[in-house]
Amino acid sequence: MKLVDLVKELDYTLRQGSLSTEVNGIYYDSRKVRKGGLFVCITGTQRDSHDLARECAEKGASVIVIQREIQLEPLGGVTILQVDKSRKALAILSAAFFGWPARKMTMIGVTGTKGKTTTTHLIKGVLEAAGRKVGMIGTNGVSYGDVHQETINTTPESYELQRIFSQMLEAGCDTVVMEVSSQGLMLDRVAGIRFDVGVFTNLSPDHIGPGEHSSFEEYRYWKGRLFCRCEVGVVNIDDENTPALLEDHTCRLVTFGHDEKADYRADGYELLRTPDFLGVQFRLTGLDEMDVRVNMPGAFSVYNALAAISVAKVLGLPDQAIHDGLARTQVKGRVELVPISKKFTILIDYAHNEVSTESLLTTLRAYQPHRLVVIFGCGGNRSKLRRYGMGEVCARMADFSILTEDNNRYEAIEDILADIREGMAKGNKNAAYVEIPDRLDAIHYAIDHAQEGDLIALIGKGHETYRDRQGVKTPFLERELIEEYAAEKGIE
């Protein structure tokens, strides 16, 4: 591909060389550069790859894209483009290199502090129930068809993102649903993408600190940028940050929530629990009316469902697809029910800090179980405050706790459990608990000692597929382990 075909939608200055230069690949990691490739110099928090431009030229890069001045003479024979923002240039060049795949599919972006992962899954479930072929990108990785890939970031780097879009398109996807993080917006990972629908779930302080956002206001600002690059914005009208987040928005707005001004409202809700179902139902009112049943528990599930319904209405999907999608969808590791018994309920959740644990246990307590049993540990080589906090919350809110391992990494399990016990003593010095260091043994113990009507929450690892001990990761998929043990024991 000639450079001239890649730069049609890029603002740049040709510093030397020719636009007729052939480009056979795009790189932003100097270690991966190959002969004939285009290398984009990026200024990062740890390193400035402008310092590696000469090395990339020596490897055979045919084009170097720069954001700041560099010494040009050693780069003779190399075409050099200068741009204002090299990260944005990487996104535009990558999109052009792969043939602008996002323009050939319906693009749905979901942003917010909480609920992004669940909301994307619910939207995907409704779309698939309507017969659409959907690709999904987010915290739980990349998935389309039978393909599932792990990702480092919630919103991958722009080159990887465009490559993934291209693969999804080739696999027959007509729609992409993706989580759009504030970092993804701030670092131009989604530059060049025009979303058909943007979704805002809610906002609270997060990702504020070195290497992320300098303040809550900055965090909110970048979340709001999604609504300057989408056609329709589907937003939570109840969140107090919504007006500020939508400053300067350029999209048509559709609102959801409990507020009487919302386009799509939930009039009350009812908790539902059976051995194989833990969810809510409510009446949708506003621009449309229907009874809704969601296969996920808690008040927050009502908001996530309203977001998915609003997207479905914007896209003109049939009501039956909404009913079927919401009733069937479960998210791996997010209040994920594992139906093995009619006597008790067991579920898996990713809650791994004090706030998420308290939120989860508050939700589960509302279902009035005979006993609320929690199996949990805390990660090694991480803040001890998390251990104290989770211990305190579980001692205070659970009827019985089973203290065990999480990902110990390089730390002794005995030290981790001692810290958790300290938090337990603060939460409730009379709390009932047992310590079982091996997590599999802890799971077996909980199942063996389950009582009629118990609700057992296995928390901390969620969708993870491994256990980390001394830096060695071995397979550990909790759903499968629970199902295997239930089958072995003949549990009904």
Residue 191's CB is within 10 A of a number of other CB atoms, namely 20
Specify the length of the chain in residues. 492
C-alpha–C-alpha distance, residues 186 and 221, integer Å: 9
**307 and 274 within one domain:** yes
Q: What's the pLDDT at 216?
A: 87
Q: How many domains does the chain have?
A: 3
C-alpha–C-alpha distance, residues 405 and 438, integer Å: 6
For residue 418, which amino acid is it?
A: A
**232 and 195 within one domain:** yes
C-alpha–C-alpha distance, residues 429 and 136, integer Å: 45
**259 and 381 within one domain:** no
Residue 415's CB is within 10 A of a number of other CB atoms, namely 12
pLDDT in tens, the chain (492 residues): 999 999 999 999 999 999 999 999 999 999 999 999 999 999 876 789 999 999 999 999 999 999 998 876 767 789 999 999 999 999 999 999 999 999 999 999 999 988 899 999 999 999 999 999 999 999 889 999 999 998 888 899 999 999 999 999 999 999 999 999 999 999 999 999 999 999 999 998 666 666 677 788 999 999 999 999 999 999 999 999 999 999 999 999 999 999 999 999 999 899 999 878 899 999 999 999 999 999 999 888 999 999 999 999 999 999 999 999 999 998 888 899 999 999 999 999 999 889 889 999 999 999 999 999 999 999 999 889 999 999 999 999 999 999 999 999 999 999 999 999 999 999 999 999 999 999 999 999 999 999 999 999 999 999 899 999 999 999 999 999 999 999 999 998
CB contact set of 194 (below 8 Å; sequence gap of 6+): 102, 103, 107, 229, 230, 231
Give the CA count within 13 Å in the CB-facing half-sphere of 7: 23
**184 and 88 within one domain:** no
**137 and 112 within one domain:** yes
Final residue of a domain: which of 295, 328, 361? 328
The CA-based angle 128-130-131, given to 5 degrees, is 65
CB contact set of 244 (below 8 Å; sequence gap of 6+): 220, 224
**462 and 445 within one domain:** yes
CATH number of the domain within which 36 lies: 3.40.1390.10
**275 and 152 within one domain:** yes
CATH number of the domain within which 458 lies: 3.90.190.20
pTM confidence score: 0.87
Final residue of a domain: which of 77, 97, 117? 97
Q: What's the pLDDT at 47?
A: 84
Task: Give the dihedral sign, CA 252/256/259/260.
Answer: positive
- The bridge status of strand 472-475 relative to strand 400-403 is unpaired
CATH number of the domain within which 269 lies: 3.40.1190.10
C-alpha–C-alpha distance, residues 452 and 482, integer Å: 18
**220 and 249 within one domain:** yes
CB contact set of 219 (below 8 Å; sequence gap of 6+): 182, 203, 205, 206, 207, 208, 212, 213
Give residue 27's domain range: 3-97
Q: What's the pLDDT at 232?
A: 98
**271 and 164 within one domain:** yes
Q: What's the pLDDT at 210?
A: 66
**271 and 237 within one domain:** yes
Burial class (CB in 10 A: 0-12, 13-18, 19+), 435: middle
Q: What's the pLDDT at 254?
A: 98
Q: In what order do the strands lie in the sheet with 13-16?
A: 13-16, 79-82, 63-66, 37-40, 25-27
Residue with tokens 């896209």: 315
**176 and 285 within one domain:** yes
Final residue of a domain: which of 58, 74, 97? 97
* Helices of type H across 187-298: 216-224, 242-245
For residues 182 and 188, is the Cβ–Cβ distance under 8 A?
Answer: no
